[in-house]
Structure 1
Amino acid sequence: MKKLQFICLAAFAFLYSNSTFAQDDAATNYDQGFRLGIGLNGGIPTDNDYDWSLGGDVRLQYDLSKKTSLTLTTGFTNLFIGKDDLGNNVKDLGFIPAKAGFKAFVLKDQFYVMGEAGAGFAVTNGYNDTTFLWAPGIGYANKYIDISVRYEDYNKFKTNQVALRLAYGFKL
């Protein structure tokens, strides 16, 4: 598991360090502003505690420049049908993530790397934990569509996942 975390962080650092942020006339006249994205997420946990996940999110994005943005993301994620170390069924875990992040476009203003960190608040089936979560990811975005893949780690929930996000976004 530590090896997967190291690989994700190394890939993020490599992609971020290889991007250049040269200014041109288009960047100096870029209209900063807010975007809103509404997404559907599906994932597969990388351990044996849960079988799959499904969720939805809302992401507010503030474009600092044509190549960089700050994000705030919340929504709901449910981890389904789990088993403990003894093979006994574990209740589904539903939680509300609250994450802040940074997005950097690295190729043709459409492909990006992103890092998010925040908290996950358990809200279903008697779970009462709050966990730290972090999520590096890569994606493709155009004027309306955002497709990304991310690794997401939930420290206190003792699980993590690789998730696909499909979203519709628009300028506010």
Structure 2
Amino acid sequence: MKKSENLKMLCVAVMAFLFANTTFAQETEAVKNEGEIKTYKPGFRLGFGLNGGLPTDNAYDWSLGGDVRLQYDLSKRTSLTLTTGFTNLFIGDDVKDLGFIPAKAGFKAFIWEDQFYVLGEVGAGFAVTNGYNDTTFLWAPGIGYANKYIDISVRYEDYNKFKTNQVALRLAYGFDL
């Protein structure tokens, strides 16, 4: 019975060591930059963007919107994103414009010089203006450039139930939290 208790205590100690070791291993990442080693610490970023787009079909004339993006940097080259805001799809000829709130989750991967990236987002668009009542699935692949404060990207965005899609430009200001 004494051996059983010692074995349990040893297992608990090993598990605690492994748990603590993996927790500390994720705190910083060594990054080599021009001969010197800097440490990188994962964290949150917040960005505020302006979006303008052109629908690729004839359903709407153009779009304009704003967004807020919360980004969690997993490493120097990979991030998770949550984006929301407001987008308005404009159309003429006495037809009501469509305004909606997107809610998207995504993954960003820096692929060249830690500044150029690809981004994929999926989520929903909730129509909120002019009597529109639909909610649509949306997906948006994109490419972009980001530095410490500026983020410029181009994306294709498809709105399933709104029966349209667009190519949009995003100009944003972001900072570490």
The CA deviation at 1:25 is 3.1
**Superposed, which structure 2 residues align to 1:1-172 within 5 Å?**
25-26=30-31, 29-82=39-92, 89-172=94-177
The CA deviation at 1:89 is 4.4
Distance 2:40 2:95 in 1: 50
Distance 1:56 1:133 in 2: 17
Instruction: Supply the AA of the counterpart residue of 2:39.
Output: N
Q: Larger relative contact order (C-alpha < 8 A, sep ≥ 6)? A: 1
Q: Which runs of 4+ in 1 moved over 4 A?
A: none
Q: Which runs of 5+ in 1 are unaligned?
A: 1-23, 83-87
Distance 1:139 1:153 in 2: 18
Alpha-carbon displacement from aligned partner over 1:14-69 (angstroms, at most 9, x marks no partner): xxxxxxxxxx8317932100000000000000000000000000000000000000
TM-score, scaled relative to structure 2: 0.79
The CA deviation at 1:153 is 0.1
Query: Partner of 2:25 in structure 1?
Result: none
Structure number with bigger Rg: 2
Q: Which runs of 5+ in 2 are unaligned?
A: 1-28, 33-37
SS at match of 2:126: strand
